[in-house]
Structure 1
Amino acid sequence: MTKRIHVAVGVIINDNNEILLAKRPEHLHQGGKWEFPGGKVEAGETVTQALARELEEEVALEVKATKPFMELSFDYPDKQVLLDIHTVTAFAGDARGLEGQQIAWVPRNELTNYDFPEANKAILEKLLRH
């Protein structure tokens, strides 16, 4: 049995009510699909600390405030993840893909036009209900 990977995920909403998405590099698990930015929670980190670190490293945003959105576990055939999803309610900086990844600010009602990993489907459903 493989270890469940704890991932901090950010639903980042700008002043235009658009949500930031990042495209996973092709060589990674679920490569080529769009996702909400974030990354692994390291030992000794809180979810909020991990999210702030990951968003600064990946998309050049400084997180000012977050609030819990939802938590879900998902099992892929080759990997298990625990997604700790937070809404980023305040941030500074201009988003850009620091790891060469494509990013996009997407209106909420257009999220369904993007191809997401299976684990993200529940996040999309909840976002579209709000």
Structure 2
Amino acid sequence: MKKVEVAVGVIRRNNQIFITKRPQNLHQGGKWEFPGGKREADESMDQALVRELREEVGIETHGQLPLLVIEHDYGDKQVVLDVRIVEQFSGEPHGQEGQLGAWVAISALSDYEFPEANKVIIEKLLERIR
């Protein structure tokens, strides 16, 4: 089974994180997620994240800090999520592709339904604010 490499951005402002809702027709549709997307063959993970956040939520990133790497098997596909914190950016994030977007307090993230692989990210963020 092919592994899909995904660059994930945890866009943070103070104690809030910007999340988006996956369109119903996609894998894990209807669930909330941290914006990002697949790395293309000619890109580094840094480059993939800059491109994806520009395309998906309309921001220009000015730095990213590694948070963690998650490998998850959904049964129908395996993903490797390279998760980075983005606190330096210009523009106001919004769903550029018609998807819902919201600023959510870190402490409230567990109230939203996320894909299974994202739960570790939420745990890690909650640890950091305790």
| TM-score > 0.5, shorter chain as reference | yes
Partner of 2:102: 104
Q: How many residues align?
A: 128
Q: Distance in 1 between matches of 2:87 and 2:41?
A: 25
Q: What TM-score comes out, normalization by structure 2 length?
A: 0.96
Q: What TM-score comes out, normalization by structure 1 length?
A: 0.96
Structure 1 unaligned runs (5+)? none
Partner of 1:7: 6
Matched, 1:37 2:43: no
Partner of 2:111: 113
The structural deviation recorded for 1:79 is 0.6
Partner of 1:72: 70
Deviation string for 1:69-121 (max 9, x for gaps)? 00010000111000000001200001111100000000111101100000001
Match for residue 20 of structure 1 among 12, 18, 21: 18
Amino acid at match of 1:70: L
RMSD between aligned alpha carbons? Answer: 0.7
Q: Distance in 1 between matches of 2:46 and 2:87?
A: 12
Structure 2 unaligned runs (5+)? none
Taking every aligned residue pair, what percent have the same amino acid on both sides?
Answer: 55
